[in-house]
A and B are shown apart, each in its own frame.
Chain A
Amino acid sequence: MAKQKNGRRDVYFISGGISKFAKARPDVTFQPMVKEAYDYALKDIGLDNRQAREVFDGSVASYFSDHFQRQLMSGIMVQDYLGLCPLPGHRVEAGGATGGVCFQEAYKNIASGVMDTCVAYGFETMSHVNTWKGNEFIALASDVSFDYPVGGFYSGYYAMMVVRHMQEFGTTVEQLARVSVKNHINAFHNKYAQKRRKLTIADVRNSDMVAWPLTLLDICVMSDGAAACVLASEEGVERIRKATGKSPKLVKVTGVGRGTDAMRMADRPHADVILLPHEKKSDYKGLKYPGVHSFRAGRTASKLAYEHAGINNPIKDIDFVELHDAYTSSEIQTYEDMGLCKYGEGGAFVESGAPFMPNINYGLGKLPRQGEIPVNPSGGLIACGHPVGATGLMQAVFALWQLQGSIKKHLGDNTIQVKDAKRGAIHSHAGTGTYVTVSILEKN
């Protein structure tokens, strides 16, 4: 039996599926929507539904809000609809990072030896209330004694963070807009994405101001959607092989990390930077960290995942990243947390072209470092949509397809396939940076 360090068993990610993300899915309730993603994942490895119940040891369910549906215990309603009862299962919740945590809980089920096969499924139906009520529900993920009553609005919270980032580091709104241009144009080649648009920096800046300096096109939209992932041990892979007579293309989960920070932004410390292996204390003289400009949880999650996977310099050791770009600003903040560039250099990093796809013309002129480490080749949350409980799993599925080299098979378009991708990182993020997960996936 293959054992990793800390006595963990090897964990393989073998299949995934996604429902087409949409503003609203009134044609189905959430259970059949998850079944679309689940059935796709089964079909991809040649399993039928009856076999699945015999082959799978259990599940983990991911959804963020009970308010959006006004239905408690939605997880079990999915479990029964998928025909997975009476197998073990539970629901996880970690705000925007619910999907990332779900993926890691499935990983833990396998790594610990509790299960040999595990399905991680997730969903959110955000269309049951109007957008402004939806913003109210999401803002309840801020302290209801001190934060929510002052004017609870997540776009406002992120705007305050980026204002501080601009003040501290000189980041510009045009640099933010570049993230939006990149992700919308990437999504143009992703049929699962909700918003597939060829935008310019001017389009982003001229769209409605939501919370200064963030415009409508700096911010992800609410969605209805679902995603599912199948994870297995060596024994589990063998079991699936026996049942189907086919060998799935394996991707290995080689690193998992998670971090947290205080719910209230006001409570965040102003202390020293948590350093990654390729950074020095002298890089950050006088910088008060994390303040409200950086995410200590994202840095902690990255550090742990990198240590686990043996990554010393992320920009050299990772081929692509799918990260939680709920806002263009948080994509820039996350470049820094993940060590793709130093703190303060996120704006220059996007301007250099490093996180763009190498083979796409973005209409931004010459980008000197274009394609160095594509970030959000799928289009990210900004363009794909953000059905919270599905989001982290959606990122995992896109990363799986990248590493399998199967983007064309699944999207019918090869444009966003990262060539020879061997190692990818997925990053899932909650609240104003309260829970963050980073997982490292590698081609086997």
Chain B
Amino acid sequence: MKQTCLEKKPLTEKIKLAETDDGAILFRVPFPKNLKDLHDMSPIIIKQPYHIDYIHSFGQDSPFFAGLANGKLLGTKCSKCGYTYGTPKGHCMNCGTRCNWIELPLTGRVHTFTVCQFGSEEFLKETPFVLALIEWDKVDTLFLTRLVGVDAANPSLDWVGMKVRAQFKRNAKFKPTDVYFVPEK
């Protein structure tokens, strides 16, 4: 499997020099005398950069991020059927009613987890990192988060069910990673 090396070692069993995305700028290419020979021409491959800034609104979910900035973990609860969301939903998936905001307990349990040794380009420099879904009693759905303070080199199924506590970043970035969980002492 050929891989392009960014900041992470290549995923390969073979010893190879790292490949990078940069290359020469090409201004001219050879051209055959006979046009029939063009069927055998190698493809011309160029680099096309693509950078975008999106204007993303959290919309009805905005209070969740305001909560994180103020040290509160918010979920929602259906005002009609009582279904409780560990990750906020504006309207109830059960009965369609508008949900109200509630404060979730700061301690929960690990429902499941993984240690990512590789990742998407944006997160590659943060590997290895631990993803976990958090569960609470009397809360019907889960919450995806980073789990820190565990030994990422030695993951174990025993981590499922571990009691964990929410901690908040001091300088909010208005991302779901403004909260993360650590093992409860």
Task: Mark A residues whose CB is within 8 Å of B.
Answer: 23, 26-28, 70, 130-133, 135-136, 139, 144-147, 149-153, 155-157, 159-161, 163-164, 166-167, 207-214, 216, 221, 262, 264-270, 292
B117 touches A209 (CB 8 A): yes
Of A27, A159, A160, chain B has the most CB atoms within 10 Å of the CB of A160
Instruction: Give the interface residue-count category, chain B.
Output: 35 or more
Contact A268-B141, Cβ < 8 Å, known A23-B1, A207-B13, A212-B155: yes
Contact A167-B177, Cβ < 8 Å, known A135-B119, A209-B117, A268-B141: no
A132 touches B115 (CB 8 A): no
Q: How far is the CA of A262 from the CA of B144 in the complex (A)?
A: 14
Residues of chain A within 8 A of B86, CB atoms compared: 266
Per CB-CB distance, the 7 closest pairs between chain A and chain B, nearest first, are A159-B114, A130-B4, A136-B120, A132-B121, A266-B142, A164-B112, A212-B115
Contact A164-B141, Cβ < 8 Å, known A132-B4, A146-B87: no
Contact A151-B133, Cβ < 8 Å, known A23-B2, A132-B4, A146-B144: no
A266 touches B43 (CB 8 A): no
Contact A150-B176, Cβ < 8 Å, known A132-B8, A163-B112: yes
Expressed in whole angstroms, the minimum distance between the Cβ of B94 and any Cβ of chain A is 9
B6 touches A149 (CB 8 A): no
A153 touches B123 (CB 8 A): yes
A149 touches B117 (CB 8 A): no
Expressed in whole angstroms, the minimum distance between the Cβ of B155 and any Cβ of chain A is 5
B114 touches A267 (CB 8 A): no
Q: How far is the CA of A136 from the CA of B112 in the complex (A)?
A: 22
Contact A150-B115, Cβ < 8 Å, known A144-B56, A145-B58: no
Residues facing A in B136-185 (CB within 8 A) are: 140-146, 155, 157, 160, 175-177
Q: How far is the CA of A207 from the CA of B11 in the complex (A)?
A: 9
A145 touches B2 (CB 8 A): no
Q: How far is the CA of A90 from the CA of B105 in the complex (A)?
A: 48
B176 touches A266 (CB 8 A): no
B1 touches A266 (CB 8 A): no
Q: Which of A157, A207, A262 contacts B93 (CB 8 A)?
A: A262
Of B2, B6, B116, B120, chain A has the most CB atoms within 10 Å of the CB of B120
B21 contacts partner chain A, Cβ-Cβ < 8 Å: yes
Residues of chain B within 8 A of A23, CB atoms compared: 1-2
A130 touches B112 (CB 8 A): no
B87 touches A152 (CB 8 A): no
Q: How far is the CA of A70 from the CA of B50 in the complex (A)?
A: 9
Residue of B nearest to A139 (CB): B120
Task: Mark B residues whose CB is within 8 Å of A.
Answer: 1-4, 6, 8, 11, 13, 21, 43, 45, 48, 50, 56, 58, 61, 85-87, 89, 93, 111-124, 126, 129, 131-133, 140-146, 155, 157, 160, 175-177
Q: Which of A135, A208, A266, A269 contacts B117 (CB 8 A)?
A: A208
A151 touches B131 (CB 8 A): yes
B113 touches A163 (CB 8 A): yes
Residues of chain B within 8 A of A152, CB atoms compared: 119-120, 122-123
Q: How far is the CA of A211 from the CA of B115 in the complex (A)?
A: 5
Residues of chain A within 8 A of B89, CB atoms compared: 267
Q: How far is the CA of A266 from the CA of B145 in the complex (A)?
A: 10
Q: Which of A26, A28, A136, A161 contacts B45 (CB 8 A)?
A: A26
Q: How far is the CA of A152 from the CA of B61 in the complex (A)?
A: 19
B141 touches A130 (CB 8 A): no
A160 touches B117 (CB 8 A): no
Q: How far is the CA of A213 from the CA of B2 in the complex (A)?
A: 22
A151 touches B129 (CB 8 A): yes
Q: How far is the CA of A360 from the CA of B89 in the complex (A)?
A: 50
Expressed in whole angstroms, the minimum distance between the Cβ of B13 and any Cβ of chain A is 7
List 11 A-B pairs, Cβ < 8 Å.
A130-B21, A132-B118, A145-B61, A150-B144, A150-B146, A153-B118, A160-B112, A160-B132, A164-B111, A167-B160, A264-B144
